Amino acid sequence: MRKPDFFIVGAPKCGTTTLNEYLKQHPEIFTPERKELHFFGSDLHFKTSRITEEKYLAYFSNTNQVKRVGEASIGYLYSKNAANEIRQFCPYASIIMLRNPIDMIYSLFSQLRYHNEEESEDLDAALDKEEARKRGLYLPKVMGAPVECLFYREMAKYTDQIKRYFDVFGRKNVHIIIFDDFQQN
């Protein structure tokens, strides 16, 4: 059984699903049917329990016929622990996708509202609740994404998030794709 050797690490609503789907179509690349495994990022908070390493690796069984094996989870960029955890697990490249932070925040808010994971009626109200949410207040009853996705402003602060990956993997092993460029080409 192979371990993943690349990771699509991106902010929410920045094209990670599309990139994952494109890569999945290549005959020499494998990504699991399920996206957002969130095995790494031990500092992220979910309303459900994390998958075990055994279950995580089972997603990559029967991948001996391909050249590259990878996965995509949006929480890995925001997480302060994921870069080091990925490096310890498998020291290979990461792909990071970014989007204009303001566009990302609006798009993330809209998606969470659509899936009933955001109970605020408008973005201003959600932004007003961020500090209280960090203390565990005003959290939606249903939440499949990491709770940290409700910290919109922090999710959009890419500088420190990218720096973590540069520090852990080196700039040569991190490829940044800007969403607008990806969308145009």
Whether residue 145 has pLDDT greater than 90: no
d(CA 166, CA 86): 13
What's the pLDDT score for residue 104?
93
CATH number at residue 175: 3.40.50.300
C-alpha atoms less than 13 angstroms from C-alpha of 147 in its C-beta half-sphere: 21
25: phi then psi, degrees, rounded to nearest 5: -75, -20
The residue among 114, 115, 120, 116 whose CA lies nearest residue 152 is: 120
What's the pLDDT score for residue 139?
94
- Angle formed by the axes of helices 82-89 and 158-169, to 10°? 20
Confidence of residue 132 (pLDDT cuts 50, 70, 90): very high
| Both structure tokens of 114 | 């659509």
Average pLDDT, the chain: 92
Whether residue 93 has pLDDT greater than 80: no
What's the pLDDT score for residue 129?
97
Q: What is the pLDDT of residues 27-47, one digit of tens each?
A: 999 999 999 999 999 999 988
Whether residue 65 has pLDDT greater than 90: no
The residue among 104, 98, 108 whose CA lies nearest residue 158 is: 98
Boundaries of domain holding 133? 6-184
102 assigned to some structural domain: yes
1 assigned to some structural domain: no
d(CA 77, CA 73): 8
84 assigned to some structural domain: yes
Length of the chain: 185
Number of domains, the chain: 1
What's the pLDDT score for residue 178?
87
134 assigned to some structural domain: yes
Q: What percent of the chain is predicted at pLDDT more than 70?
A: 99
* CA of residue 52 relative to chain centroid, distance: 18
55 assigned to some structural domain: yes
What's the pLDDT score for residue 108?
95
The answer to whether the CB of 153 falls within 8 A of the CB of 127 is: yes
41 assigned to some structural domain: yes
Query: Which residue carries 């490096």 as its tokens?
Result: 87
